[in-house]
Amino acid sequence: MSHVQPIVASTAVFKDDIFKGKVLFCTGGGSGICKGMTEAVMRHGADAVIVGRKLDRLMQSAEELSRLTGRTCLPVQADVRYPKQIQDAVAKTIEKFGKIDFVICGAAGNFLAPISGLSENGFRTVIEIDTLGTYNTIKATLPHVRATKGSYIHVSATLHYRGTPYQVHVSAAKAAVDATSNVLAVEEGPHGVRSNVIAPGPIAGTEGADRLTPKGPGSGMGAMPAGRYGDVKDIANTAVFLFSDAASFLSGQVIAVDGASEHIRSMQ
């Protein structure tokens, strides 16, 4: 007989079944932080759709997420830059699950490049993935999220609070994501829809920390007041809270989950 891992909730502080019967739609859910958030929400009872460009990775992640959580995870290939593709992904979600309660807009592009070495197309590509992709995802999901009085989480960053070298494209894109979420919160609040942003600090084992965090003075563990980098679980647990009823009056906020590292950066 094969060994079956017991399914445990992601958090000890929230009841196991708080998201029972809920459906999550997550762009960028095939890997990293967004996969971690999806796992946590599924561990609390939700089914999920993960959306991304790489079908192989999505299928592998969906199988893993279903096995770990005992819920259903549907992988759907789509590029958030193209409205038709994201609309089709939403249609597949409705066909499979009949509704959408929660949306994570997490698909993002990133690389390090100075302004002097960045092409117009390079700048545009990241704006299209992060900002236009967020807009396209909101447009395609909103009628369904209104119907359930659901909730959005957008994944941003802290790098645009100050000038972060080699990140002009991402800084501009993420500032626009923050602004978009705030407008969504205000416009859709009367329909019972909430919208918030999670701005992760350096998270161990992710693209952001491993490949993209600028090196040099003020970086590294010395810039971490908590004495550690963040863990994907730190972001995942924040997502559980934001989607839960415990956050029912929390909307239009940008929440930095960074162990206060942004405060210490401002002192340097």
* Stretch near ligand HXC under the rule CB under 6 A, chosen from 7-15, 17-25, 114-122, 253-261: 114-122
Q: Which of 208, 232, 240, 242 binds ligand HXC (CB under 6 A)?
A: 208
> Is residue 171 involved in binding ligand HXC (CB under 6 A)?
no
Strands (E), the chain: 23-27, 47-52, 73-77, 102-105, 151-155, 194-200, 254-257
Partners of 153 in beta bridges: 104, 196
Q: Which of 49, 80, 105, 170 binds ligand HXC (CB under 6 A)?
A: 170
Q: Residue with structure tokens 């239009």?
A: 252
Tell me whether residue 53 or residue 146 sits nearer to ligand HXC (CB atom): 53
108 close to 130: Cβ distance less than 8 angstroms = yes
> Is residue 109 involved in binding ligand HXC (CB under 6 A)?
yes
The set of residues, in sequence order, having a beta carbon less than 8 Å from that of 43 and lying 6+ positions away, is 7, 8, 9, 10, 16, 68, 69
Catalytic member of 10, 156, 181, 195: 156
Minimum distance from CB of 188 to ligand HXC (Å)?
A: 25
- Residue 265 structure tokens: 């950066």
CA–CA–CA angle 29, 66, 36 (5° rounding): 35
Tell me whether residue 59 or residue 118 sits nearer to ligand HXC (CB atom): 118
Nearest Cα neighbor of 242 from 141, 174, 137, 153 is 153
Q: Which of 40, 113, 197, 254 binds ligand HXC (CB under 6 A)?
A: 113
> Is residue 108 involved in binding ligand HXC (CB under 6 A)?
yes
Residue 66 falls in the annotated catalytic set: no
> Is residue 262 involved in binding ligand HXC (CB under 6 A)?
no
Cα 36 from Cα 224, distance rounded (Å) = 22
> Is residue 116 involved in binding ligand HXC (CB under 6 A)?
no
Nearest Cα neighbor of 257 from 170, 204, 178, 198 is 198
Catalytic member of 31, 174, 181, 195: 174
Question: Which residues between 13 and 32 bind ligand HXC (CB under 6 A)?
Answer: none
Minimum distance from CB of 102 to ligand HXC (Å)?
A: 21
> Is residue 176 involved in binding ligand HXC (CB under 6 A)?
no
> What is the sign of the dihedral through the CA atoms of 182, 213, 259 and 267?
negative
> Is residue 157 involved in binding ligand HXC (CB under 6 A)?
yes
Tell me whether residue 113 or residue 176 sits nearer to ligand HXC (CB atom): 113
The set of residues, in sequence order, having a beta carbon less than 8 Å from that of 190 and lying 6+ positions away, is none
> Is residue 205 involved in binding ligand HXC (CB under 6 A)?
no
Helices (H), ranges, 47-167: 55-69, 83-97, 120-127, 133-148
Residue 174 falls in the annotated catalytic set: yes
Angle between helix 32-43 and helix 232-243 axes, rounded to 10 deg: 50
Minimum distance from CB of 233 to ligand HXC (Å)?
A: 17
Q: Which of 59, 68, 132, 212 binds ligand HXC (CB under 6 A)?
A: 212
Active site residues: 156, 174
**Residue numbers at the binding site for ligand HXC (CB under 6 A):** 108-111, 113, 118-119, 121-122, 125-126, 157, 159, 170, 207-208, 212-213
